[in-house]
Amino acid sequence: MQDLQDLLKFLIHSPIDFVIVGGFAAVIHGCNQTTRDIDICLTLSNEQIILLQKTLEPINPRHRKQKEKPQFQRDNQNVEKFNNLHLETDLGVLDIITQVEGVGDYYDILKNSQEIELFGGRCFVISLEDLIKAKKTLGRHRDLVIVEELEAIKKENEL
């Protein structure tokens, strides 16, 4: 059963350094949308892959898009350079990306991000401005609908 709040709580209390991006970030900024996954941005070095494998092991991560590699487990076969990881876990869907279109890599996103307290821990969320840029760059209908709401939230915050 999917529980994105428990998945995010698990991540926040883990040793993984990340920035929340995507639909859940829009919700954190005040959007009234629903999302079916957690999207996070981080760097994916070999060391980070090993840390992810060890950290995520209790929630049974599985590749969603690479059926030939069903388990994302700690073994030398999985330690390679990834650009993105699309995982399904016992707590829900987790997408791990290294770049956000229209904004840049983890460090570009981190420098403008906001540190927030959530579920008894601290984490970073993509800035409202960068999230708007990213959603505009994607240009999908559902993203453009979210952009309208995010721009209204931004305007309200500026008052």
**Tens-digit pLDDT profile for residues 2-38:** 688 999 999 999 999 999 999 999 999 999 988 889 9
Strand partners of residue 122? 117
For 113, 141, 152, the CA distances from 94, given in Å and listed in that order, are 20, 22, 28
| DSSP classification of residue 71 | B
More confident residue, 76 or 87: 87
| C-alpha–C-alpha distance, residues 15 and 25, integer Å | 20
* Per-residue pLDDT, 139: 87
**Radius of gyration (C-alpha) of the chain in whole angstroms:** 16
Contact 100, 41 (CB under 8 A): yes
| C-alpha–C-alpha distance, residues 111 and 34, integer Å | 27
**pLDDT above 70 (res 67):** no
- In sign, the C-alpha dihedral spanning 121, 122, 126, 128 is positive
Rounded to 5, what percent of the chain is helix, strand, coil? 40, 25, 35
Enter the pTM of the model.
0.89
**pLDDT above 80 (res 45):** yes
**pLDDT above 70 (res 53):** yes
* Per-residue pLDDT, 51: 92
Averaged pLDDT score across all residues of the chain: 88
* Per-residue pLDDT, 63: 87
**Tens-digit pLDDT profile for residues 123-159:** 999 999 999 999 999 989 888 899 999 999 999 888 7
> Which domains are seen in the chain, by residue range?
4-143 (3.30.460.40)
